[in-house]
Amino acid sequence: ATTPVSLKATAGLRLLPGDKADNILKAVEALLREQPFKLAPGGVAIMDGKDEGAFAWLTLNYLLGKLEGPVADTVAAIDMGGGSIQEAFALDDEAAKAAPK
């Protein structure tokens, strides 16, 4: 009961017509509430595209063992799905400071 759980759908769910996406999210939330986990409000939702890209980059670089070294050793992640495309890559501090807000 103290283990937090969250389930985030990707952009493809937004493509469903009418209120189908909302109905799916509500059904999943109801199912998770029956489980012995801690589900916070908003724990079942459609993920923002920025988060999709960030999680794809983090997962890829974690699996490749590249999170411990310099930023230059990380790899870019491109996630092409049914409803969106995300590209994510790390910048060194100098390049990040020069990037537009």
Q: Which residues are catalytic?
A: 52
85 is in an annotated binding site: yes
86 annotated binding-site participant:
yes
Closest CA to 58 of 43, 75, 37, 35: 75
What the block records as the tokens of 44 is: 């079942």
CA 8 centroid distance within chain:
7
CA–CA dist 54, 61 (Å, integer): 11
Q: Is 83 annotated as a binding residue?
A: yes
Which residues line the annotated binding site for ATP? Answer: 82-86
